[in-house]
A and B are shown apart, each in its own frame.
Chain A
Amino acid sequence: MSKVAYYPGCALEGSGGPYDRSTKAIVKELGLEMTELDDWNCCGAMEVKNVHPMLQTYMSARNMAIASEKMGCDTVMAPCNGCYHNLKKAEYECATSAESMQTVQDLAKKADDPVYQGDVRTVHLLEWLMEELGPEGIKAKVKSSLRGIKIANYYGCMYTRPRQIFPEKDQGPGSESSYKPHFMDDLLAAAGAVNVDFPLKTACCGGAHTLSDSDTSTQLVLNLLQAAEESGAEVIATECPTCHSGLEMHQIRAETEFGIKTKVKVVYFTQLLGLALGLSARKVALHENVSDSIDFLHEKGVV
């Protein structure tokens, strides 16, 4: 079993609070062990690299160095696609460029930070759950089925692209696919949901420009919402706080700016899993979402 450091990141500390609380709740309920990454820093998200890419590489590597050097962990687990992506990218960058590795280590010494040695791996929460339990393990712990609610699983961009930085994906049976990811589908099916055939699993929600080019983001999100409804989905399950907030915000903007109302619910996959594990709606912070799914889930007998 891996020794896991939990890296929530800025979004889960802020607007993605419900994702943080539901993640902690299911990890505890599933009997898994993790320790929060000691005094972590921001990974650089999607913005810092545009000022200079080394900023992002360094900030991400610093977190990995804390995990291995200060905590003795071999794995960093991030539920946020942005954090996950950036740490994977820094790992790839340092593993494939001696110059980048040297720069990262030099900067660490200069700043009196723990020095990254490349001896720690990063996994997404989805990957960790698949590794430790898998669909069978989840099935064994389900106390109250998701009763066939119809779900469109939305993975977004950063979980799979560019595929170069995710060498463990696309390795045949059992591994995650970068073109048609399925880990979230597998886990939620085990919890009793019905996954619809959703063609925009890895399409973009415009998260990078959610505020700076809002109309574009609204249009991209509207594509997702309408495609999900066309596919017969009642709920869009998310696994990224930026996508999740973007979907919630632009579902509203689609109403105010374009006059188009959609009714599909937006719920973190951890909240859905938690409900299936018998946790209360409150415990998985369902009431803290902007998208109100409680009445719907109540009707379906899931809450």
Chain B
Amino acid sequence: MAIHEKSLIDPANLVTTDKLVVEGIDVSGHWNTMILPRTWTDYDPDFAKVIQQYPGGENVHRCWQCGSCTNSCTMYAINTDFNPRYWIYLTNLGYKSELIKDKDIIWQCVSCNKCTNICPKDVRPEGVMKALAHWLEDEGLTPKTRSTMFDAEFTRQCIERGRIEDSEVLFTFLKETKQDVNALVRKGWLGILVQRMNNLDLLRQGRIGAFLARLPITQSIKMGLSLVFKPRTKSWGTTGEVLKAYVEEQKRLAHEKMKAAHA
């Protein structure tokens, strides 16, 4: 393997002494920092098999650690701790305790697919990120992330009606994540968004004619109506139920395979 665990150089594993003599040679000064030797036994050789049972994780074993995923990663550019290559390495090694250190950021993958686009081994790292995030939740290592909550509400509407409705997704999500909608409207971005959509600045400038001419009437009526009469696919029939049953069955099968991987 091309890279070593980051934990080797965690502060806890570094020993710095003021004066150090090794085999009769004085190495005090710049060379006196040593990495503690470690014995590592808590790896899980079947961990990759577990991740492979999660949708998106199927190809994780194919990685040869070229680093193209991390190099192209949108999130890595923002936060260098967000390192898909490293997490894939740890998965294949079965080094869960090291992976868990990054549990609070793995879900942040924005699915831009730069990694999956460039990966020479078709590992599909974007899918692996989702698989890892779901595993962390299933193990109770992280609470349900906002991303998962958003996905769940979106999917619920799809299964139920065949379509989603923008405002319902937005407001249900804000409510479930306990965000103060009133504050967002009164002094946050949501209020400004509504003001700008309705060109209220024109009113303030006294440009009444322009204000009236630019009222987004069609859009307001359409969005208002769909709040009351939810968009619906009329022919949806039993499709939602069939899909729901399929997903439940697939999850049951995956769970059995995971248990078998550990048996």
Residues of A within 8 A of B (CB): 10-11, 13-15, 17-18, 21, 39-42, 44-55, 58-59, 62, 107, 110-113, 157-158, 160-164, 178, 203-204, 206-209, 211-213, 216-217, 219-220, 248-249, 252-253, 255-257, 282, 285, 287-292, 294
Contact = CB atoms under 8 A, between A and B. Distances in A.
B185 interface: no
A211 B167 CA distance: 12
Contacts of A15: 166, 223
A161 B117 contact: yes
Nearest to B112: A204
Contacts, number: 189
A44 B108 contact: no
A274 to B, nearest CB: 15
B148 interface: yes
B215 A249 contact: no
Contact of B218 (A11, A21, A48, A253): A21
Contacts of A48: 151, 154-155, 158
Contact of B163 (A10, A213, A253, A255): A10
B117 A112 contact: no
Interface in B191-244: 192-193, 196-197, 199, 201, 213-216, 218-219, 222-223, 226, 231, 233-239, 242-243
Contacts of A216: 75, 78, 108, 110
B111 interface: yes
Interface size class of B (residues with CB under 8 A): 35 or more
A14 B154 CA distance: 14
At the interface, is chain A mostly helix, strand, loop or mixed? helix
Contact of A51 (B113, B201, B218, B247): B247
B237 A288 contact: no
A50 B132 CA distance: 12
29 contacts: A13-B222, A41-B158, A41-B162, A41-B239, A45-B164, A50-B147, A52-B55, A52-B246, A52-B251, A53-B56, A107-B246, A111-B239, A158-B113, A161-B114, A163-B117, A178-B117, A204-B114, A209-B108, A209-B147, A212-B150, A220-B78, A220-B110, A248-B193, A249-B189, A252-B196, A256-B188, A287-B199, A287-B216, A289-B197
A55 B247 contact: yes
Given A47-B154, A288-B197, A42 B164 contact: yes
